[in-house]
Amino acid sequence: MLRSLEMSATVFGVVLGLSALGAAAGALTAPALASRFGPGPMMLAALAVTPLTQLPLLLASPGLGWQITIGAAIFLQLACAGAAGSTQRSIRQIVTKAAMQARMQSVSTWLTAGARPVAALLAGALGTCIGVQPALTAGALLLLIPLIVLARSPIRSLRQMPDPPDAPVPSPPAARTLPPAVPSPARTNDTRPGRALRGDAP
């Protein structure tokens, strides 16, 4: 953007700011979109639009018109990512039992965040070896993989958010076994002769 498309630092910052706004807009509108169209079709549509938003970056040339187009495309791309990402995270949290929530979230975060440095190194190496334009084209094609995976999964037809797993029915508390009561000896009048002869009260 800065070298080939001759963007100024200000325009570059505005374009990156639009990406953040797009992600926020997608996450905020995701519940309404999932309720209207269904979580599965909504995520499928979002993943189908995402590769198309790379086309302006591949076809652009210097100029204000292309700068606006790229900004709008990046906004739309991150909006789709925010809508699909927040929806799939919600589905994972719903179907995961409470005792496994922390483990599920930690594994997901490790896989996504841990892959970013590796992907950045591979993208830099690819851009150095074959050029920026072919590397961007390869990146756009790689965005088709999530679409293909989701299209081949049962989630594509999910029309409403799934129900949470049934909580285990707690077993009734075991009856407390009390020790058998020991009967106390009955009190009887002391009829020993010695007490009666001394005139003691019974």
In-domain check, residue 91:
yes
Q: Is 185 helix (H, G, I), strand (E, B) or coil?
A: coil
In the block, which residue shows the tokens 């652009």? 60
In-domain check, residue 38:
yes
Range of the domain at 82: 9-97+126-157
pLDDT digit of tens for each residue in the chain (202 aa)?
888 889 999 999 999 999 999 999 999 999 999 999 999 999 999 999 999 999 999 999 999 999 999 999 999 999 999 999 999 999 999 999 999 999 999 998 999 889 999 999 999 999 999 998 899 999 999 999 999 999 999 988 899 988 887 766 566 655 555 555 555 565 555 555 555 445 454 4
In-domain check, residue 199:
no
Q: Is 179 helix (H, G, I), strand (E, B) or coil?
A: coil
In-domain check, residue 70:
yes
When divided into structural domains, the chain yields a total of 1
CA–CA distances in Å: residue 25 to residues 28, 90, 154:
5, 17, 27
In-domain check, residue 182:
no
In-domain check, residue 83:
yes
Tokens matching residue 201: 């009260």
Q: Which of 88, 76, 87 is nearest to 19 (CA)?
A: 76
Tokens matching residue 183: 């009967």
In-domain check, residue 36:
yes
